[in-house]
C-alpha cells in the first residue's frame, strides 16, 4: 500500500493509537488465549510490523484449560480456579512478542467463561461461552467492529477447526457480528455501521500437514508422543486454500516466542510443539486461509500472499469517510 506511513503510528504510552490513524486494520476473533499465536502468530507479527492495526478479540480467559508445568498445577479449575487471570497475563506477553498492542476480551475480561471440551459438564454452566445468546455476544463484537472498522476479519471455520464448543461459538459470533455491524438498524448506539470487506477462515492444507509430520518423525524431539493429521485443526484439501502467508525469520521467531509465552498450555521444541496432551505436532511457519467473503485479490487459482490484497481502492473510500468523520 503506497499510503503506508514511513513509521507505523505509535500508540500513546500504554495504549493503541486511534483506529483512524491506520490505513489497514485486521480483526481476529479467537476462543482462548493461545489460539491466536498457534493459528495466526506469523500473520499478526507481519501486519503489526508493517504498521497495520491488528486487533485481537479473545472470547474467554481459558479458565478450563489444563496446566502443563507441575509447579503451576494449583491454578487448575478444580484447584484454585486461577488459570484465567494467569492466561490473560500469558496473552499479554504473547502480544508483546508479536508487536500487537490492541487485544481485548469479548464483553470484558471474564464476561464469558471457557466452556471446556465438547460434552464436558462445564458446557452447561450459565456463564459458559457455549451458553451465550448469539446476538448478545455478537453485539459485544459489533461494538469493536464499529470502533476499529477493520477491512479484514479472521476467524475459524464453522467447526471451530476441531469441534471445541468455544471455537464453534467464536466462529458463530464472528460471522454474526460481521453481519450485524453492517446493519444500520442494529443498535445504532454502538456506532456507524461498518461492512467488513474480506473474511477469512483459518485452515491447514493437507499436504503441508502431512509433510510437517514427516519432518517430525524424521527429527529428534522431546515429546512423549506424536499427534496425527486429524488432530490438527482445519485440515482441508490444498485446493481449498486461497491465501498463504509465509514467515520472514523475524516473524517465525515472534510466533515461537508468542507460543512459548502460553507456558501453561504449550511446550515448544524448535519447529515443533505440544499442547497439554504431550503429543508433538509441527509448528507452521506459513499460515493458510480460505476467503469466505469479499473479492479475492489474486487471479483465479492463484493464492493471495496478502490478506489486504484487492482492498487498495477501498483506502480512498475509507479516507473520505474519515475526513467526513473529522469534519462532523
Binding residues for Zn(2+): 32, 35, 167
Taking CB under 6 A as the rule, which mask of x and - marks residues 8-37 in contact with ligand LKMZNTP5? ------------------------x-xx--
The reply on whether position 31 binds Zn ion by CB under 5 A is yes
Binding test (CB under 6 A) with ligand LKMZNTP5, winner from 41, 51, 62, 139: 62
Find where cell 462445564 sits: 122
For ligand LKMZNTP5, the closer of residues 156 and 200 by Cβ is: 156
Q: What is the smallest separation between the CB atom of 225 and ligand LKMZNTP5, expressed in angstroms?
A: 11
**Nearest alpha carbon to residue 159 among 172, 140, 174:** 172
Residue 22 or 272: the one with the smaller Cβ distance to ligand LKMZNTP5 is 272
Size of interface with ligand LKMZNTP5, in residues (CB under 6 A): 15
- Contact between 252 and 42 under an 8 Å Cβ cutoff? The reply is yes
C-alpha cell at 221: 524431539
Question: With respect to ligand LKMZNTP5, which residue has the nearer C-beta, 221 or 303?
Answer: 221
Binding residues: 32, 35, 167
Q: Show the CA angle centred on residue 267, arms to residues 262 and 270, nearest 5°.
A: 115
- Judged by beta carbon distances under 5 to 8 A according to partner kind, the member of ligand LKMZNTP5, Zn ion, none in contact with residue 36 is none
Q: Where are the alpha helices (DSSP H) in 115-223?
A: 134-148, 165-181, 206-218
The least CB distance from residue 277 to ligand LKMZNTP5, in Å, is: 4
What is the separation of C-alpha 251 from the centre of its chain, rounded to a whole number of angstroms?
15
Is residue 32 close enough to count as binding Zn ion by CB under 5 A? yes
Euclidean distance between CA atoms 145 and 131, whole angstroms: 22
Cα dihedral 116→121→125→130 (10° resolution): 50
User: And the C-alpha cell for 8?
Assistant: 507505523
The least CB distance from residue 84 to Zn ion, in Å, is 13
Binding site for Zn ion (CB under 5 A): 31-32, 35
Amino acid at each position: 500500500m503506497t499510503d503506508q506511513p514511513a513509521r507505523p503510528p505509535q500508540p500513546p504510552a500504554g495504549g493503541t493509537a486511534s483506529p483512524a490513524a491506520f490505513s489497514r486494520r485486521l480483526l481476529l476473533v479467537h476462543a482462548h488465549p493461545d489460539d491466536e499465536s498457534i493459528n495466526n502468530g506469523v500473520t499478526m507479527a507481519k501486519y503489526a510490523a508493517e504498521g497495520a492495526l491488528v486487533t485481537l478479540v479473545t472470547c474467554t480467559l481459558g479458565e478450563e484449560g489444563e496446566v502443563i508445568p507441575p509447579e503451576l498445577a494449583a491454578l487448575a479449575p478444580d484447584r484454585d480456579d486461577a488459570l484465567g487471570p494467569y492466561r490473560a497475563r500469558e496473552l499479554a506477553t504473547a502480544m508483546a512478542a508479536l508487536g500487537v498492542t490492541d487485544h481485548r476480551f469479548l464483553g470484558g475480561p471474564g464476561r464469558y467463561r471457557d466452556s471446556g471440551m465438547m460434552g464436558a459438564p462445564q458446557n452447561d454452566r450459565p456463564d459458559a461461552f457455549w451458553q451465550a445468546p448469539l446476538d448478545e455476544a455478537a453485539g459485544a463484537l459489533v461494538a469493536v467492529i464499529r470502533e476499529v472498522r477493520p477491512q479484514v476479519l479472521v476467524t475459524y471455520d464453522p467447526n471451530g477447526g476441531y469441534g471445541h464448543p468455544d471455537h464453534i461459538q467464536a466462529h458463530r459470533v464472528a460471522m454474526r457480528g460481521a453481519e450485524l455491524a453492517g446493519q444500520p438498524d442494529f443498535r445504532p448506539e454502538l456506532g456507524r455501521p461498518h461492512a467488513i470487506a474480506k473474511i477469512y477462515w483459518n485452515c491447514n492444507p493437507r499436504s503441508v500437514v502431512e509433510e510437517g509430520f514427516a519432518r517430525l518423525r524424521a527429527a529428534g524431539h522431546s515429546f512423549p508422543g506424536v499427534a496425527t493429521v486429524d488432530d490438527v485443526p482445519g485440515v482441508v484439501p490444498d485446493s481449498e486454500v486461497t491465501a498463504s502467508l509465509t514467515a520472514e525469520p523475524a516473524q517465525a521467531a515472534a510466533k515461537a516466542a508468542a507460543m512459548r509465552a502460553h507456558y501453561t498450555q504449550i511446550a515448544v521444541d524448535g519447529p515443533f510443539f505440544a499442547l497439554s496432551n504431550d503429543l508433538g505436532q509441527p509448528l507452521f511457519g506459513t499460515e493458510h486461509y480460505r476467503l469466505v467473503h469479499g473479492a479475492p485479490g489474486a487471479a483465479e487459482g492463484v493464492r493471495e500472499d496478502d490478506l489486504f490484497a484487492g482492498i487498495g481502492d477501498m483506502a480512498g473510500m475509507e479516507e473520505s469517510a474519515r475526513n467526513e468523520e473529522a469534519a462532523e
